[in-house]
Structure 1
Amino acid sequence: MAGAGRACAEAAVTVVMPTYNEADSLPVTAAALLALPLPGLRLLVVDDASPDGTGELADGLAARHPGRVSVLHRTAKDGLGRAYVAGMTRAVDEGAAYVLQMDADGSHGTEYVPQLVGTALATGAGLVVGSRYVPGGRLADEWAPHRRLLSRWANRYVGAVLRTGLRDATAGFVLWRADVVRALDLEHTRSNGYSFQVELKHAAVRAGHAAVEIPIRFEERRQGASKMSARVQYEAALLPWRLLLGDLTGRRRAAVPPAEGEPVPDEPTATSRPR
C-alpha cells in the first residue's frame, strides 16, 4: 500500500484548467490543488484573455510557484474545446504522464484528484471520469430542478445514441493517460463547447481504451454564472448524431491501439464501477 501511495504522489500529472473571468475562484482552487500530497502535480492555466484580470492572477501564481504553475495565454475566447486542445497538447508535449481536465470554479472538488490518479494507476485505464451518476455520485443541493433534469436527460440521450457505456459522458472532470491524449489527435476535433467532452470520450472508447468512473459530488460554482449558451446546447444536441454517422470520427486518423497491459472491455464500450 505504501508503494502504491508513493507512486500516486510521484505521478507526473498536469491539471489543465481553462479560465474566462475566474478571478474570484482561480486562486482558491489553485491553492487547494497545490496543497495536495502530490508533488508530481502541475497546474496549467489556459486563459482566454479574461477581461477581469484572471490571466494576470495566473501569472502571479506562476511566479510564486515556479515549476508547478504555468500559464498559456490565448488572445481570444473561442470555446472550451479549443482551450482544452491547446492546454492538453502542451501538457503532453512537456512530458506529463497524465492530464486532468478540471474547472476553476470550484465545481470539481480537489479532494478527488488523488483518487482519480490512484484509480488510473491501479487499473491502467485510459481515462478515469469523476462521475455524478454512478452509485455514490451526486449533485450539489443548490442545483435547481430544471438543471438536474437537463443534465440527466443529456447523459441519457448521449448514452442512447452513442452507447459508450458511461453514465456521465458529459463530465468535465476527467483524467487521461498521455498516450491516449496523443492518440486522440486533438487538433482534428471539431466540436467546441461542452460537447467536446462527449466527443473525446466517444473517440477513446471506440478506439478500445478502457474507461472507469468514480463517484464525486458535483458542487455549485463559487462565483459567476454558467457559460452554457443556447448555441452550446444546440451543438451538444447535434453532436451524438454527427458522431454516430461518422461525420467526426471518419475524419480522424486511426487511433493508436491500447498500450500493452491496459484493460480492454469485452465489447467496444467503457467499463465503470459496479452500478
Structure 2
Amino acid sequence: MQNQPRAAFRPCAVIPVYNHEHAIGAVVAAVLARDLPCILVDDASSTSCAAVLDALAAADPDRVTLLRHAVNRGKGGAVLTGIQYAATAGYTHALQIDADGQHCTDDIPRFLQQAAAKPKSLIAGCPQYDDSVPSVRLYARYLTHVWVWINTLSLDIKDSMCGFRVYPLPSLVRLVQRTKLGERMNFDIEVLVRLYWDGVAIVNLPTRVAYPTDGISHFRAGLDNLLISRLHATLFFGMLWRAPRLLGRRLLAPRGVR
C-alpha cells in the first residue's frame, strides 16, 4: 500500500494588537520576511495605533489582513478572531506572536519547521529570559506552571503563558466550537491545557524572550491575576474527572515519551 501524501502545510501568523504602534511595524516586517501571511487583529486600539495598522495593511494588501474589534475584548478574544478568520481562509496552522516585540522573530523558521514535521502537535515557546524581565513575573509564572502540571497530571507543558506558539487549526477550531475560552490573559493558559486534554501533543521549543520593546504591558495585576486564579480552580475540577484518562495516557505512552 502506497503512503498517503501529507496534507498541504499552509501556515499564517496571527498577531493581536492593542496600542503597540511603536513595535508592531518591526514585528510585521519580520513575519513577512519569513514569507508568512499576516493577520492583524486590532483590539479597539487608539486612533494613533489604528493609523499605523491601516498603513501596514495598505502597504502589503496581498500578505497583510487587518481585522478590527469595535470594543476591546482582550488578547484571547483578538487571537480567537484571527484564528477563526485563518481557518475560514484555508490555513492549516497559525503562528501566534505578540505585537510588542518581546518574542524572537529569528525563531519563526524553527517553529514552522517543527509544525510542518509534526502537523498535529502544538508548538509552544518555552521562554529563555534576559535581564529585562522583572523577577516578580518569573515567580508568578512558576506558580502557574505548577498549577498547569497539576491540571494536566504531567510535566509535558513547560510554559503555558508564552504567547509565541503554532496551533494546528483543525484541533483548535474543534475546541472553540464546543468550549467558550477565556478572552483575556487567561486565554494562553486555558487553550494549551484544554488542547492537551484533547490529546494534542505539545512540542516545547526554547526561545529568547525580552521585556516589551515599547515598554508597554497590558497585564492588569488585579483583574488578570483574579481571572487566572479562577481559571486554575476551574481546570482543577475539570482535571479530576479526566484523571483516569490522563493517567492512562501516560501509562500507555511509549518509553521515553512520557
How high is the TM-score relative to the length of structure 2? 0.85
CA contact under 8 A between 2:148 and 2:157: conserved in structure 1? Answer: no
1:267 equivalent in alignment to 2:250: yes
SS at match of 2:238: coil
Q: 1:270 to 1:159 in 2, by over 3 A?
A: farther
Deviation at 1:11, TM superposition (A): 4.2
Q: 1:149 aligns with which of 131, 136, 139?
A: 139
SS at match of 2:100: coil
CA contact under 8 A between 1:22 and 1:54: conserved in structure 2? Answer: yes
Deviation at 1:223, TM superposition (A): 0.8
Q: 2:171 aligns with which of 172, 176, 180?
A: 180
Take 1:156 and 1:140, find their aligned partners in 2: how far apart are those partners? 22
Partner of 1:161: 151
CA contact under 8 A between 1:193 and 1:232: conserved in structure 2? Answer: yes
Take 1:159 and 1:85, find their aligned partners in 2: how far apart are those partners? 25
Partner of 1:226: 217
1:47 equivalent in alignment to 2:47: no
Deviation at 1:61, TM superposition (A): 1.3
1:130 equivalent in alignment to 2:121: no
CA contact under 8 A between 1:120 and 1:128: conserved in structure 2? Answer: yes
Residue identity in the other structure for 2:226: Y
Deviation at 1:102, TM superposition (A): 0.9
SS at match of 1:45: strand
Partner of 2:84: 89
Mean CA deviation greater in 64-73 or 120-129: 120-129
Q: 1:75 to 1:268 in 2, by over 3 A?
A: farther
Residue identity in the other structure for 1:215: P
How high is the TM-score relative to the length of structure 1? 0.80
After the TM superposition, list the runs of 4 or more consecutive aligned residues in structure 1 that deviate by more than 4 angstroms.
268-271
CA contact under 8 A between 2:152 and 2:196: conserved in structure 1? Answer: no
Q: 1:179 to 1:221 in 2, by over 3 A?
A: same
Partner of 1:117: 112
Residue identity in the other structure for 1:152: Y
Q: 1:92 to 1:209 in 2, by over 3 A?
A: same
CA contact under 8 A between 1:159 and 1:169: conserved in structure 2? Answer: no
Partner of 1:31: 29
1:197 equivalent in alignment to 2:195: no
| Count of matched residue positions in the alignment of Structure 1 and Structure 2 | 243
CA contact under 8 A between 1:161 and 1:241: conserved in structure 2? Answer: no
Q: 1:48 to 1:175 in 2, by over 3 A?
A: same
Take 2:202 and 2:65, find their aligned partners in 1: how far apart are those partners? 28
Partner of 1:216: 207
CA contact under 8 A between 1:29 and 1:106: conserved in structure 2? Answer: yes
Q: 1:140 aligns with which of 130, 142, 145?
A: 130
Which structure features the higher share of helix residues? Answer: 2
SS at match of 2:124: strand
Aligned-pair Cα RMSD in Å? 2.8
Runs of 5+ in structure 1 lacking a partner?
A: 1-6, 133-137, 251-264
Residue identity in the other structure for 2:234: R
Q: 1:269 to 1:174 in 2, by over 3 A?
A: farther
Q: 1:101 to 1:11 in 2, by over 3 A?
A: same
Q: Deviations over 1:89-117 (max 9, x none)?
A: 11111111111111011111111111111
Partner of 1:257: none
Take 1:226 and 1:88, find their aligned partners in 2: how far apart are those partners? 23
